[in-house]
Amino acid sequence: EAGVAQSPRYKIIEKRQSVAFWCNPISGHATLYWYQQILGQGPKLLIQFQNNGVVDDSQLPKDRFSAERLKGVDSTLKIQPAKLEDSAVYLCASSPRTQLNTEAFFGQGTRLTVV
Amino acid sequence: GENVEQHPSTLSVQEGDSAVIKCTYSDSASNYFPWYKQELGKGPQLIIDIRSNVGEKKDQRIAVTLNKTAKHFSLHITETQPEDSAVYFCAAIPNSGYALNFGKGTSLLVTP
């Protein structure tokens, strides 16, 4: 079974530039998450999708971050404009979210450095 | 919302010894408690989980215990090996939503 795919693996941008990350979840997983992991901390949820609808985006900085999951499969996360404090690893995860299986499977992440 | 506290932040043990990592949670309605292992440059990977209707679960050298009354759960690794060295995260699912709330992580170092 293929895992969660993310690209790019690394990205370096200057502050005020824009950047986009892509995620392809495990086939058949209805739920997709984007997490932000700052160095030395646990992952923090940015947004959760169920199919192509948003379940929770309460912690997404909507003035600069946006995310979409068209057709309920792939997802993109965008930051515009980036700030220095956005430097982090951005993790995508997916889950079947059935009653018996709530395990979340993570991708390798995209390491963003804002200079 | 759910608040997950994790201790210690770093833990160093000798190969063969046991390691214990503890977490507390705030939302008494939380019902799912996974533990993830994250190696350098990789995403977190589930190693064991427990649901609120169970007090203990074991998988070879790894075990998790849950005390719902005290709202804390622990990860126990016995006979540690150097390849157990990684960052471990506990998490909980709050009743009000579906996404995992993670602790801040424990960096475990197993020295030969």
DSSP for A25-84, written as a single string: --TT--EEEEEEE-TTS--EEEEEEETTEEEE-TTS-TTTEEEE-GGGS-EEEEESS--G
What mean pLDDT do residues A14-20 have? 98
Nearest CA distance, B98 vs chain A (angstrom): 9
Lowest model confidence (mean pLDDT) among A50-59, B18-27, B81-90: A50-59
- Return the pLDDT at B97: 53
- Return the pLDDT at B29: 84
Find chain A residues with C-beta within 8 A of B45's C-beta.
Answer: 106
Nearest to B43 among A55, A56, A109 (CB): A109
- Return the pLDDT at B33: 94
- % residues pLDDT > 70 (chain A): 95
Query: Do residues B73 and B90 lie in contact, with contact meaning Cβ atoms separated by under 8 Å?
Result: yes
Question: Could you give the C-alpha distances from B9 to A12, A109, B20, B28, B105, in angstroms and in order?
Answer: 29, 22, 12, 24, 6
CA–CA gap between residue B68 and residue B11 (Å, rounded): 25
Find chain A residues with C-beta within 8 A of B6's C-beta.
Answer: 42
Find chain A residues with C-beta within 8 A of B4's C-beta.
Answer: 42
Query: Do residues B8 and B104 lie in contact, with contact meaning Cβ atoms separated by under 8 Å?
Result: no
Query: Do residues B11 and B110 lie in contact, with contact meaning Cβ atoms separated by under 8 Å?
Result: no
Q: How confident is the model at residue A85 (pLDDT cuts 50, 70, 90)?
A: very high
Chain B within 8 Å of A1 (Cβ-Cβ)?
no
- % residues pLDDT > 70 (chain B): 96
Nearest to B45 among A33, A44, A106 (CB): A106
Instruction: Please indicate whether, in this complex, the C-beta atoms of B41 and A108 are within 8 angstroms of each other.
Output: yes
What mean pLDDT do residues A68-78 have? 93
Find chain B residues with C-beta within 8 A of A96's C-beta.
Answer: none
Nearest to B89 among A42, A93, A109 (CB): A42
Residues 6+ apart with CB under 8 A from A25: A4, A32, A73, A74, A75, A92, A94
Bigger pLDDT: A1 vs B13: B13
Residues 6+ apart with CB under 8 A from B25: B2, B3, B4, B5, B33, B71, B72, B73, B92, B101
Lowest model confidence (mean pLDDT) among A45-49, A90-94, B33-37, B52-56: B52-56
CA–CA gap between residue B49 and residue A74 (Å, rounded): 27
Nearest CA distance, B91 vs chain A (angstrom): 9
Q: What is the mean pLDDT of chain A?
A: 92
- % residues pLDDT > 90 (chain A): 78
Q: How confident is the model at residue A98 (pLDDT cuts 50, 70, 90)?
A: low
Looking at the predicted structure, is the pLDDT value of residue A100 above 80? Answer: no
Q: What tokens were used for A114?
A: 């804002």
Query: Phi then psi for B64, rounded to 5 degrees?
Result: -130, 140
Chain B CA closest to residue A106:
B43
Q: How many CB atoms lie within 10 A of CB A45?
A: 22
Query: Do residues B2 and B94 lie in contact, with contact meaning Cβ atoms separated by under 8 Å?
Result: yes
Coil, strand, or helix at residue B56? strand
